[in-house]
Amino acid sequence: MAEAEEDCHSDLVRTDDNERSSEANLQAELQMFRAQWMFELAPGMSSSGLEPLPCRASSRGPGVKSVDARGKQEIAKEEKAKELFLKAVEEEQNGALYEAIKFYRLAMQLVPDIEFKITYTRSPDGDGVGKRCVEDNKEDDKMADLLSDFQQQLTLQESSVKLCQPEVDVSQTHISVLPMEVLMYIFRWVVSSDLDLRSLEQLSLVCRGFYICARDPEIWHQVCLKIWGRSCNKLVPYASWREMFLERPRVRFDGVYISKTKYIRQGEQSLDGFYRAWHQVEYYRYLRFFPDGQVMMLTTPEDPPSIVPRLRTKNTRTDAILLGHYRLSQETDNQTKVFAVIMKKKEEKPIDYHKYRYFRRVPAQETDHSFHVGLQLCSSGRQRFNKLVWIHHSCHITYKSTGETAVTTFDIDKMYTPLFFARVKSFTAFSEKPL
Separation of alpha carbons 87 and 105, rounded Å: 12
Answer whether residue 2 shows pLDDT above 70. no
Confidence of residue 129 (pLDDT cuts 50, 70, 90): very low
Separation of alpha carbons 35 and 297, rounded Å: 85
Q: Which residue has the higher pLDDT, 110 or 121?
A: 110
Answer whether residue 6 shows pLDDT above 60. no
Burial class, 154, CB count within 10 angstroms (exposed 0-12 / middle 13-18 / buried 19+): middle
Answer whether residue 235 shows pLDDT above 90. no
Helices (H), 145-179: 146-156
Q: Which residue has the higher pLDDT, 108 or 12?
A: 108
- Asked if omega into 237 is within 30° of 0 (cis), the reply is yes
Answer whether residue 426 shows pLDDT above 50. yes
- 114: CB partners within 8 A, 6+ apart: 78, 81, 82, 85, 107, 108
User: What is the number of other CB atoms lying within 10 angstroms of the CB of residue 387?
Assistant: 19
The four Cα atoms 98, 101, 105, 106 give a dihedral, to 10 degrees, of: 60
Q: What percent of the chain has pLDDT over 70?
A: 70
Separation of alpha carbons 91 and 85, rounded Å: 10
Q: Highest mean pLDDT range out of 49-53, 161-165, 354-358, 401-405?
A: 401-405
- 156: CB partners within 8 A, 6+ apart: none
Answer whether residue 286 shows pLDDT above 90. yes
DSSP, res 323: E
CB 284, CB 260: distance < 8 Å: yes
Confidence of residue 136 (pLDDT cuts 50, 70, 90): very low
Q: Which residue has the higher pLDDT, 366 or 311?
A: 311
Answer whether residue 50 shows pLDDT above 50. no
Answer whether residue 324 shows pLDDT above 60. yes
Query: Mean pLDDT over residues 275-301, rounded?
Result: 89
Query: Mean pLDDT over residues 427-433, rounded?
Result: 84
Query: Mean pLDDT over residues 223-241, rounded?
Result: 84
Separation of alpha carbons 330 and 326, rounded Å: 13
Please enumerate, as own/partner, the contacts of 97-101 that have beta carbons within 8 Å and a separation of 24 or more: none
Query: Mean pLDDT over residues 39-43, rounded?
Result: 61
Q: What is the CA radius of gyration of the chain?
A: 42
User: What is the number of other CB atoms lying within 10 angstroms of the CB of residue 187?
Assistant: 20
Separation of alpha carbons 130 and 89, rounded Å: 13
The per-residue pLDDT of the chain, averaged, comes to 76
Query: Mean pLDDT over residues 418-424, rounded?
Result: 91
Dihedral sign computed on CA atoms, order 40, 44, 47, 48: negative
- Provide the pLDDT for residue 154: 56
Answer whether residue 147 shows pLDDT above 80. no
CB 297, CB 314: distance < 8 Å: no
CB 309, CB 425: distance < 8 Å: no
Confidence of residue 153 (pLDDT cuts 50, 70, 90): low
Our CA angle for 271, 275, 280, nearest 5°, is 110
Query: Phi/psi zone of residue 95: left (φ > 0), alpha (ψ -120 to 50 degrees), beta?
Result: left
Please enumerate, as own/partner, the contacts of 50-58 that have beta carbons within 8 Å and a separation of 24 or more: 50/74
Dihedral sign computed on CA atoms, order 166, 172, 177, 180: negative
Q: Highest mean pLDDT range out of 39-53, 163-177, 219-233?
A: 219-233
Q: From 53, 49, 29, select the one nearest 38 (Cα to Cα).
A: 49
Answer whether residue 145 shows pLDDT above 80. no
Answer whether residue 179 shows pLDDT above 90. no
- pTM for this model (two decimals): 0.60
Q: What percent of the chain has pLDDT over 90?
A: 11
Burial class, 105, CB count within 10 angstroms (exposed 0-12 / middle 13-18 / buried 19+): exposed
- Provide the pLDDT for residue 97: 76
Q: Which residue has the higher pLDDT, 70 or 383?
A: 383
For 359-401, the pLDDT digits (tens) are: 555 556 678 889 999 999 988 888 888 899 999 999 988 888 8
Separation of alpha carbons 241 and 226, rounded Å: 12
Query: Mean pLDDT over residues 220-240, rounded?
Result: 84
Q: Which residue has the higher pLDDT, 97 or 214?
A: 214
